[in-house]
A and B are shown apart, each in its own frame.
Chain A
Amino acid sequence: MKKAINLNVNGVSRSDEVEPRMLLVHYLRDVLELTGTHVGCETSLCGACTVMLDGQAVKSCTLFAVQADGSSVTTIEGLAKNGELHPVQEGFWEKHGLQCGYCTPGMIVAAAQLLERNSDPSREEICHGLEGNLCRCTGYQHIIEAVQYAAKKAGAQ
């Protein structure tokens, strides 16, 4: 039996009726057509599906859409404000933090939260903060540099 949910996604109020078994990531991708959030492993290992739920980075393949009822969700599509890239997005572009781009949305959302909690992280703290996100292209070095760039940039603003 479908259940009504109300949530705010990237600043837009959404009301839908969904099956209780529908995962949050499938709600975002299939119902709202926000396909920037990716499904990688479906077992909360890879982090490609990471979104912000009430300010906390969560893996949306491990949550049901009904669990997000009443919450605010920010996806990769909602990070840039007024056409201006989030410092982490800028860092990924500037420092070549991506190749195929599949892990990138989750990586960027996780890194954005990392910087919210710690505006000047050490290299080790960045590594630890991104442990839940896997990338098979870059070897992580450029991702770490991208986050360092973003921290510096955000600090300067």
Chain B
Amino acid sequence: MTDKYVGKRVKRTEDPRLIRGLAHYVDDIALPGTLHVAFVRSMFAHAKINSIDTSAARSAPGVVAVYTGQDVADKIGPVPCASARGRTAHGQ
């Protein structure tokens, strides 16, 4: 034991798969039925939301669900980046 490790350099046991491109990162895992999400952000630096028309997004092929701040407001409480109404800033 001591002969093997003490004072000796030790090569990492995880490296063979990492240097061959055979490691498994989270992004490499494809589960069946995985959905992808896309965020639509405000095009305006500072503006008031009068309404959000999601009909075109909902009818796009392959779209499973569209959520706005209004849809989730009473489920998850106030979320600064998902305005249910009122004013929005760029990035929201």
| Residues on the B chain within 8 Å of A70, using CB | none
Given A35-B28, A39-B27, check contact A92 B19 (CB 8 Å): yes
Interfacial residues of chain B within 1-51, with CB under 8 A of chain A in the complex? 11-12, 14-16, 18-25, 27-28, 30
The closest CB in chain B to the CB of A94 belongs to: B11
The closest CB in chain A to the CB of B18 belongs to: A101
A18 on the B face (CB < 8 A): no
The residue from A76, A94, A96, A102 contacting B20, defined by CB atoms under 8 A apart: A76
The residue from B15, B27, B30 contacting A92, defined by CB atoms under 8 A apart: B15
Q: Are B25 and A89 in contact (CB under 8 A)?
A: no
Interface size on A, residues (CB 8 A): 25
| Residues on the A chain within 8 Å of B11, using CB | 93-94
Q: Are B25 and A108 in contact (CB under 8 A)?
A: no
A54 on the B face (CB < 8 A): no
How far, in Å, is A151 (CB) from chain B's closest CB? 17
Q: What are the 7 A-B residue pairs with the smallest beta carbon separation, nearest first?
A: A36-B21, A101-B18, A76-B21, A35-B28, A89-B19, A93-B15, A77-B21
7 interchain pairs, CB-CB under 8 A? A39-B27, A76-B19, A80-B20, A85-B20, A101-B14, A101-B15, A101-B23
* Interface set of A (CB-CB < 8 Å, partner B): 29-30, 34-39, 75-77, 79-80, 85, 89, 92-94, 96, 98, 101-102, 104-105, 108
* Interface set of B (CB-CB < 8 Å, partner A): 11-12, 14-16, 18-25, 27-28, 30
